[in-house]
């Protein structure tokens, strides 16, 4: 088993990136700009928190950011 060197290698990050694409596509024509913005920002937050936690360099910090990411996913 090889060591993961970057957050881009994480399947969870790759799938969160797909989530962002799906959310942006679904809300592309939405006129409810406030709701659209909130959901889009929350989806990006999922991806960003995974990468930020990974870059913190400790398992404890990574886990903390995964919980934050999970909360953002729940919001979406």
Q: pLDDT for 8-59, tens place per residue?
A: 999 999 999 999 999 999 999 999 999 999 999 999 999 999 999 999 989 9
Q: What is the pLDDT of residue 58?
A: 93
| Cβ burial, residue 16 (10 Å; 0-12/13-18/19+) | buried
Asked if residue 1 has pLDDT above 80, the reply is no
Q: Which CATH superfamily is domain 9-75 in?
A: 23S rRNA-intervening sequence (1.20.1440.60)
Tokens of 59: 């398992």
């Amino acid at each position: 088993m090889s060591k993961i060197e970057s957050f881009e290698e994480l399947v969870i990050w790759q799938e969160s990136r797909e989530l962002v694409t799906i959310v942006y596509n679904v809300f592309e024509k939405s006129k409810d700009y406030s709701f659209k913005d909130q959901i889009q920002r929350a989806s990006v937050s999922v991806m960003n928190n995974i990468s930020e936690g990974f870059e913190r360099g400790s398992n404890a910090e990574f886990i903390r950011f995964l919980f934050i990411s999970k909360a953002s996913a729940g919001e979406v």
